[in-house]
Structure 1
Amino acid sequence: MYGRALQLSEWLEMKKQLDFVERDYASRLDLIAKVRGLQKAEDYIQTIPKAFRGELLLLYKRLDKKKIADVLLLMEKENVKLSPFTYRILIDTKGLCNDIAGMDQIVETMKAEGLELDILTQSILAKHYVSAGLAEKAEEVLKMMEGDNIKENRWGCRFLLPLYAELGKADEVERIWKVCESNPRFEECMAAIEAWGKVGQIEKSEAAFDGQLATSKKLPAKCYTKLLKVYSDHKMVQKGKDLVKRMDDNGLKIGPLTWDALVKLYVEAGELEKADSILQKACQQKESKPLFASFMAVMEQYAKRAYKNGKAPAYGIRERMKADNIFPNRYLAAQLAQVDAFRRTAVSDLLD
């Protein structure tokens, strides 16, 4: 699907069907990195107008954060002014690295340059404050996002719902949801399913899902997957099974995101063999392959089980991945090494 999306993007530009802006270049760059690799993505940067060169930051934020400083120096050398989009990437990168002080410094720089934080950037800022345990700072940002009248700033509800849920504030989730409950937009409904699940009110997650189902002839698979993740987080295996059956009955395609939610559902429920079985079947699909996260979820449990059971090895995962042309990243490779029965060590070399 990434390949098709890239072809569509290239066709739109070639036929001049779309005037590319920052967001479009960022999307194209991301697709090239996924389909053709990092080097091709770096080559593509040279064809982007200088005013939009900040998109290279997006690439390195995902693949190699160490190169971000080099990109900033290059932008300074070429007199490329940082845009709100570029600042958003930098704020997110600092947050992902748990550098809250650095993140705050970037925000102050934006303000000094007369740039306002849009609601998406504010949501990223709040998310990282929550992750860092800075609840008060997160709430300050959330109140800024709401403004004087949340009904007039309704577009922010989709961001506010899961963020208040992360803070464990069910009352605030209820208050924000009431703004849009009578006529929810799709993204608001998705956010409500996630938020109610995070605060442990599964019935309200289901009600949000059913409400959306009642207004749509056919919901997309990602809406089912969102509820499936709620069931996974709460180890509700039977409800998860029933939901997947509903997906199948409604003719929806079961893809990588659904497989991932299913795998994690069984992992969380302690049914590792069933999770592994689903992963094997997913690997046999021709159209798409499982997510790395699915392999990691299974491997982490095998690693824990191996430790508990005298480090008994788990066979076959590496071979299945090779057969499907799926190559582990550094983290997953480390997980594989923990349960590799044939790995070479200094001691094994001595004993051979």
Structure 2
Amino acid sequence: MFALSKVLRRTQRLRFGACAAVYSKEIHLGERSFFTLESPSIVYDKCESVPRFYEISSMSKRALSSNAGTKSDEDEDDLEDGFSELESSKSSQETSSSSDDSEDDEVTPKGKLSADEDDADEEEELELDLIETEDGGKTVEKKPSELFTTIVSAPGLSVGSALDKWMEEGNEINRIEVSKAMLQLRKRRMYGRALQMSEWLEANKIYEMNERDYASRLDLLVKTRGLEKGEAYMDKIPKSFKGEVIYRTLLANCVAACNAKRAEVVFNRMKDLGFPLSGFTCDQMLLLYKRVDRKKIADVLLLMEKEDVKPSLLTYKILIDIKGASNDINGMEQIVETMKDEGVEPDFQTQAITARHYSGAGLKEKAEKVLKEMEGRSLEANRRAFKDLLSVYASLGREDEVMRLWKICESKPRFDESLAAIHAFGKLNKVKEAEEIFEKMVKMDRRASSNPYSVLLRVYVDHKLLEKGKDLVKRMAESGCRIEAMTWDALIKLYVEAGEVEKADSLLKKASKQSHTKLMMSSFMYIMDEYSKRGDVHNTEKIFEKMREVGYTSRLRQFQSLIQAYINAKSPVYGMRDRMKADNIFPNKSMAAQLAQADPFKKTAISDILD
């Protein structure tokens, strides 16, 4: 039996107290609840089999701690929004963009080419799990279906009309064709069109809906219109179809939205309904707490041990990434060893995570050793590793290795490899080489994909090439590409880096009005941080509220920037602790210092004399 928590205890990075979650009465979606900790000698005798996770309104002195490491508390605080690999869950909403990859390659969002790498493989696994053929088999064909081509060719919001015409022409629509088209739309993150197709299918009663059809619709609704719309749709799903697949789909989307309150309520509801605790739900909670409250990671691990839920490959990836991001290399290595001892072999992505953290810690030899293991005996046989190899070698400054790898795949590069190469050469200050690869991609890409533009734009951002960035965006618009979330993100950062924060703010407003995409959280934070540095409290508060409106619930990082705006403005902060408490945000060491500095009632030497 595995003992991951013991491994973590031995590394003295995540200190686990002997504790367990206290249970309360049954709750329903939308209700508030609380999280406390008690000794297991008290809890286990009076509890049901599967503990519930509750939102934090206060933490006892026995609360689990996560004092990870070799960095100071201030540095550790900065890690909250800087984890390097698995920042988004399987149905990533934060990086929602209509990626237009080639049929042969997986979606490559911004994160795949930066330190905030998305777990696209895990996301694809979830997407496949929502799509079945009539015989129960999963549809994984890569060749575009005619139905998919028809939907993509339809202008704007006219997918329904295009499908009506398709039927009038005598074409048949069955579950197999729908599954093919749905998968291809999802792989390209064309969630709006996928939702239109789903609505049309139900309205026209093409076939009888099953649980996975309802789950797919729920997933698409949340991705395009937010959690509230998704929860409202759940009420309309027939009770007989409201099974585990429905709830885990909602849970994954709550985690993707970083909404701890809703995720915990859904988790508890699944328990109340008698669904067995699974590795999927535990992994989702780990992903959530990795981003919003690392202290509660211990609760999930202890729960998994108690309920004998074996860790999955994703479980290990998350823990390896947490250790690496906390600069606890010894702890990371012990988790890798535990993983191997349990018979779970690291895949390319796990190796890439490890190599990146070695690189970030300055351990070049160890990083290169892992990279050579990824290459194996034949690079051609391990083609899937190319994009990660290019990226990590670039972070190590190994121009020779990047050139060697690119020469191997240059004659017939895959889409994601080309994107990774643009990013890698950008890291190496080889802007000209990055531009040459971009030009080749544009000539070969028959669908006017936005991805090459977005990645090259990111290179221009990193090198503060404002004019080139502006020209690239104009060219992108002229080519017919739709500007998506990651493109807006790069463009907004470009203007912020150039000192034109007002222009960046104007772009943010313009992009926010687009209904087909949800802006990335970082797009707001670039502007918010800049206003904060200037001591512009009004505009910092404005961005703070805008983030809440679009669905990014308050996190420690946002409050840190907001409080710093008041400090820089030399303006007293009233009621900030109450605002944080209302959002279940509790100050860490660095934020406590911020609050003390901005406290309008703090004691000074002069005030003591006057008193």
TM range (shorter): 0.7 to 0.9
Q: Do the aligned partners of 1:129 and 1:138 also contact (CA within 8 Å) in 2?
A: yes
Partner deviation per Cα, 1:312-331 (whole Å, 9 max, x = no partner): x3533423553571454221
Contact 2:292 / 2:555 at 8 angstroms: preserved in 1? no
Helix, strand or coil for the counterpart of 1:243? Answer: helix
User: Could you list the per-position Cα deviations for residues 108-128 of structure 1 after superposition, in whole angstroms to 9, with x for gaps in the alignment?
Assistant: 112223332111100010111
Q: Deviations over 1:82-131 (max 9, x none)?
A: 23332222211222222211111011112223332111100010111111
Equivalent position to 1:343, from 560, 573, 583? 573
Deviation at 1:163, TM superposition (A): 0.4
Partner SS, residue 31 of structure 1:
helix
Shift of 1:18: 4.3
Bigger mean CA offset, 283-292 vs 64-73: 283-292
Provide the identity percentage: 44
Among 247, 255, 275, the alignment partner of 1:33 is 255
Cα offset, 1:187, TM superposition: 0.7
Which residues of 2 match residues 101-120 of structure 1 at below 5 A? 101-120=330-349
Unaligned runs of 5+ in 1: 307-312
Q: Is the 8 A contact 1:30 1:59 kept in 2?
A: no
Q: Choose which of 411, 416, 425 in structure 2 pairs with 1:187.
A: 416
Give 1:153-164 correspondences, 5 Å limit.
153-164=382-393
Alignment of 1:232-251 (within 5 A): 232-251=461-480
- The alpha carbon displacement at 1:162 in A equals 0.7
Q: Give the structure-2-normalised TM-score.
A: 0.51
Which moves more between the two structures, 268-277 or 178-187?
A: 268-277
8 Å CA contact 1:94, 1:100 repeated in 2: yes
Please, which moves more after superposition, 170-179 or 278-287? 278-287
Task: Tell me the amino acid that sits aligned with residue 39 of structure 1.
Answer: E
Pick closer, same or farther for the CA change 1:305–1:100 going to 2, 3 Å.
same
Match of 1:253 in 2: 482
Query: Structure 1 residues 291 and 322 mapped into 2: Cα distance closer, same or farther (>3 Å)?
Result: same
State whether structure 2 residue 331 is matched by structure 1 residue 212.
no
Task: Decide which of 526, 532, 536 is 1:297's aligned counterpart.
Answer: 526
Give the match for residue 70 of structure 1: 299
Following superposition of structure 1 onto structure 2, how do residues 114-153 of structure 1 map, counting pairs within 5 Å? Answer: 114-153=343-382
Classify 1:76/1:11 alpha carbon distance in 2 versus 1 (closer, same or farther; 3 Å): closer
Long gaps (5+) in structure 2: 1-91, 97-122, 140-211, 213-244, 575-597
Partner of 2:514: 285
Q: Say if 1:170 and 1:199, in contact at 8 Å, map to a contact too.
A: yes
Distance 1:39 1:79, change over 3 A: closer
1:322 corresponds in structure 2 to 545
Contact 1:33 1:40 in 2 (8 A): no
Q: Deviations over 1:250-289 (max 9, x none)?
A: 2222222111101111122222232222223223434444
Contact 2:441–2:452 under 8 Å retained in 1? no
Counterpart contact for 1:279–1:295, Cα < 8 Å: yes
Counterpart-to-counterpart distance in 2, 1:286 and 1:317:
24
- Structure 1 residue aligned with 2:131: 12
Partners of 2:450 and 2:563 lie apart in 1 by 35
**What letter matches 1:343 in structure 2?**
V
CA contact (8 A) 2:351 2:370 kept: yes
Q: Which amino acid aligns with 1:134?
A: L
Q: Which has the larger radius of gyration?
A: 2
Give deviations 1:221-249, integer Å, cap 9, x for gaps: 23211111000000111111111112211
Q: Is the 8 A contact 1:2 1:31 kept in 2?
A: yes
- Give yes or no for the alignment of 1:50 onto 2:268: no
Structure 1 residues 39 and 84: alpha-carbon distance in aligned structure 2, compared to 1, 3 A threshold: closer
| Structure 1 residues 93 and 44: alpha-carbon distance in aligned structure 2, compared to 1, 3 A threshold | farther
Within 1, Cα distance between the matches of 2:298 and 2:601? 42
Tell me if structure 2 keeps the 8 A contact 1:84–1:115.
yes
Shift of 1:193: 0.8
Please name the residue that 2:114 is paired with: none
> Quick one: which of 419, 425, 428 aligns to 1:196?
425
Query: Aligned pair in 2 of structure 1 residues 289, 317: CA closer, same or farther (>3 Å)?
Result: farther
- Greater share of residues in helix: 1
Q: How many corresponding residue pairs?
A: 341
Greater displacement, 212-221 / 153-162: 212-221
Distance in 2, Cα, partners of 1:249 & 1:144: 44
Helix, strand or coil: the match of 2:311? coil
1:148 to 1:45, Cα distance in 2 relative to 1, 3 A: farther
Letter paired with 1:30:
A
**Displacement after TM superposition at 1:135 (Å):** 1.4
- Alpha carbons 1:9, 1:28 under 8 Å: kept: no
Change in CA separation of 1:48 and 1:119 when aligned onto 2, cut-off 3 Å: farther
2:367 partner SS: helix
Q: In angstroms, what is the RMSD of aligned CA positions?
A: 3.3
Q: Is the 8 A contact 1:228 1:240 kept in 2?
A: yes
Between the two structures, name the one with larger relative contact order (CA 8 Å, sep ≥ 6): 2
Q: Secondary structure at the match of 1:294?
A: helix
Structure 2 CA distance for aligned equivalents of residues 27 and 58 of structure 1: 15
Which TM-score applies when normalising by structure 1? 0.84
Structure-2 change in CA distance of 1:305 and 1:58 (3 Å): closer
Distance 1:348 1:65, change over 3 A: closer
The question of whether the paired residues in 1 share the 8 Å contact of 2:355 and 2:370 is answered with yes
Equivalent residues of 2:544, 2:562 under 8 A apart: no
Deviations 1:159-216 (A, max 9, x none): 1001000011111100011111111101101100110100000111111111111211
